[in-house]
Chains A and B, each alone.
Chain A
């Protein structure tokens, strides 16, 4: 009998192997009831999705390794998200084959966490925290700043655990301000205008912008509206665009940007390059931008303060928590919740210190007591106390997914308001933003 294979038999075997391989690949993963791994594999695989910026900034991988070492049988894996991951997660939730347990980062008091909750992508975590035996679990929710706890709560259930928060603040160059005799940040809009004029005269030769915004609604006019009234939102859950406070904020913005040219064009064009080039004396933006400045120019040259406001009685400032969520139908929800507590809980000083060093503000009262105010090495982050106080009395944005709509239309019309040669009035701008937002919201169901 010949050992040689004919071409036909070889092709048959190859095709059979190919078809067999394809069928094997299509076969469902062997998962025992209750989400247990297939026989032979005793490990509970807890996959957590994180965006690459978060894993680059925060050592989630390191804490996962630590957690795995002290919890034999559980393997936490941090995976970075890719385009369209939410769609994939939702599909898997729908057909009951979810392979991940948790995901980040969603902003509370913004659009993303409400979207995750409204679509049923994430589940409440209260009961899992209560059942957790990990150190810190019993104090986690109580230690959380109340406003952040509320912002992550929907219909009485807690959905998004923040590892940090950010708020709109005034990030300023102490050396430049000192050059014009200012050793404190402006507390009111009038003081801001005054010091900006002085900075403009002082920095004219070097073409230094006295101040700058970033393009977001939150960081510019939105923040000014917050600082002018105790009730920034109307019944339609949009900012009160036609209120005196909003018109004043738009007019103030126009004055700074167009009439007195105290900012880059439009208030923000090329602000980041200018900031890093030392050509911007102050930026109204989220608080972490101040730490970016400190990293570039030194901790003595840049600091962060609460934003200037118009009225003593106000709504604080726009803010958001950077949250992780527990996915609905997660294979190992308790283990995932335990990992969250282990990593992000108030007992993990190392983690809290890492968060603070990135310029993000911690979310637990104990982190302020023990680290920012208790550890001399963290004295330079003392400004975070002011951010905490500011946020503690801030109005939480209404729970809906309309913010992006409002922000989009704001960005369109604010440019038209401050374009050189523009004849648009603040009233017209406010009306245009409101009408465009309302028209689009009328087409939404949620």
Chain B
């Protein structure tokens, strides 16, 4: 085995005109400093790139700062202030009240009731939407005729392009206990006393689930379809050769390979805990449905911020921030549970 030869150490210069140790040190320091600055500027150039780039992205950055960053920061501050729209004295720094909003929130029975309703609503909407959209996506992916597959994709996606206000108003008509198609059909099949879907406190929340699922499942179906289309068909062929039936292929190939899509749709879907429009449109305003059976936290905080009394936007912002934190927690749980950062 060849041995590596140690480099020769330069011999000490002992000539009389040779530079002193200090001179060498000074020259060395200058060289090092020059080199350092050169490196630094070079590094800066690398880091910052072409300055013109910043000019071109400036409009987007400004829009983001004005319409995203500033409202978020302002909302954060408002969550710790007693901001009341009708009381100018509470605006700005004068309204800061520390954790008062949060203490009140902990003691606010209506808030917790509305949060419970929002959680129950989410726990119904998310699994149903997930199962329906995944099932629909798998079925569409099995259609070999391109035209037919495109037709089904359009049909599945149609509810998404309908504005939510229109969708909910249509569903409100469908749910009408006397003239709505749903009950007319139920009466047609022999159910004499069909439910008063939106009028009864026992059924109002369930009635709200149906249109919400209908409005959301199209976009989830598309996401699952994109995921399924990107799975290499050879994997399925290999599994088929090994004797795996359709169910096993679905269970051991489709589901695991769709993990990133699952993460995506679950994270997007976790926002349903903040559901507001559905209740407000179906039940007309901020009543929260019959006997407040569908009073989600979103509706409750909207009522506090924009309808009632002084319009306590500070307290509403605290509730809103709480919902945001819940969404973040759900997202973390989803990432941890599915153990993927790929999504």
Contact = CB atoms under 8 A, between A and B. Distances in A.
A266 B178 contact: no
Interface of B: 52, 55-56, 58-59, 62, 84-88, 90, 104, 176-179, 196, 198-201, 286-288, 290-292, 303, 307-310, 312
A440 B311 CA distance: 12
Nearest first, the 8 closest Cβ-Cβ pairs linking A and B are A269-B199, A444-B309, A415-B291, A15-B55, A415-B290, A444-B310, A412-B292, A416-B291
Contacts of A440: 308-309
B176 A446 contact: no
A18 B292 CA distance: 52
Given A18-B59, A446-B87, A265 B177 contact: yes
6 contacts: A264-B178, A269-B196, A279-B178, A401-B86, A411-B287, A415-B201
Given A22-B59, A415-B291, A443 B176 contact: no
A274 interface: yes
Nearest to A417: B291
Contacts of B90: 445
Contact of B287 (A118, A273, A412): A412
Contact of A441 (B56, B201, B309): B309
Contact of B307 (A90, A120, A408, A412): A408
A115 B308 CA distance: 11
Given A412-B291, A415-B201, A273 B179 contact: yes
A445 B84 contact: yes
Contacts of A180: none
A82 B36 CA distance: 58
A296 interface: no
Interface residues of A, number: 40
Nearest to A412: B292
Given A273-B179, A415-B290, A416-B291, A19 B199 contact: no
Interface in A422-446: 440-441, 443-446
Given A273-B179, A446-B86, A446-B87, A408 B286 contact: yes
Contact of B178 (A15, A115, A274): A274
B56 A15 contact: yes
A120 B177 CA distance: 45
A295 interface: no
Interface string A202-233: 00000100000001000000000000000000
Given A119-B88, A265-B196, 12 more contacts: A15-B55, A22-B59, A115-B86, A120-B88, A265-B177, A265-B199, A270-B177, A401-B310, A415-B290, A419-B291, A444-B308, A446-B310
Contacts of B179: 270, 273-274, 277
Interface string A396-426: 0000011011001001110110010000000
Chain A contact residues, majority secondary structure:
helix
B169 to A, nearest CB: 13
B61 to A, nearest CB: 12
Contacts of B62: 22
A11 interface: yes
Interface in A257-315: 264-266, 269-270, 273-274, 277, 279
Contact of B312 (A119, A265, A269, A443): A443
Contact of A401 (B201, B291, B303, B309): B309
B176 A270 contact: yes
Contact of A273 (B178, B200, B290, B309): B178
A413 B312 CA distance: 23
Contacts of A115: 86
A444 B309 CA distance: 6
Contacts of B56: 15, 18
Contact of A18 (B55, B199, B290, B303): B55
Contacts of A120: 88
